[in-house]
Amino acid sequence: MDRISPGLAQAVLVSEDASFYSHGAFDFTEIRAAAKESLLAGRGLRGASTLTQQLAKNLWLGTERSPWRKLKEAVLAVKLERTLSKRRILALYLNVAEWGEGVFGAQAAAQARFGVEASDLTTAQAALLAAMLPAPRRADLAHPSRWLARRARRVLDRLYASGHIDAPEHAHASADLERLLEGASGDEEVPEDDDPSALPVSPPPSAR
């Protein structure tokens, strides 16, 4: 974790699992919200997996989709939470997450996407990487989609609303992000799959 930008860890948390530090293997509040939303919308259940569940899947289970796989994921997630600290789970997640075809982990992502070390990522770069996570192989930073641009802006807004960055940093990062998104073409739309009302988030790790 000491060699990964704190901004990336914070961006991933507010994007993927805002309550990571306050729940166990599962976020039952998010599961209930997802079920209610899906029922009202008349469509399939949107993603409500915690980072721990995602880590279990990434480490051991691959991309198979079946009730049996979800059961194995649940069992492994519980074991991870019982065995490891939250900081260790987050570190493992950041080091195995996929950020593109053959690009795994924060260091590889920072180098492949921006030509920098993971420790040197800017707030805007971190927000963009976090925004890619639901569909990393579809994210073309040379021609960013409207979906990716919208999601990255939302990550910055969440970082500000949760107190991870202040107003001047939000403004600076927003301008930096717009420069990174200059090639946005509107192509490659990906269905929205996250909850824009996911705030408030839990306190930053430094507060615990």
pLDDT tens for each residue of 59-98? 998 777 788 888 999 999 999 999 999 999 999 999 999 9
Architecture, CATH, for domain 6-207: Orthogonal Bundle (1.10)
CB contact at 8 A, 55 and 93: yes
pLDDT (mean) for 178-207? 54
Any idea where the domains of the chain sit in the sequence? 6-207
Check residues 120 and 203 and name the one with the higher pLDDT: 120
Token pair of 37, please?
Answer: 């939303």
pLDDT (mean) for 159-166? 97
pLDDT tens for each residue of 113-135? 999 999 999 999 999 999 999 88
Contacts of 205 (CB under 8 A, 6+ apart): 9, 21, 86, 87, 90
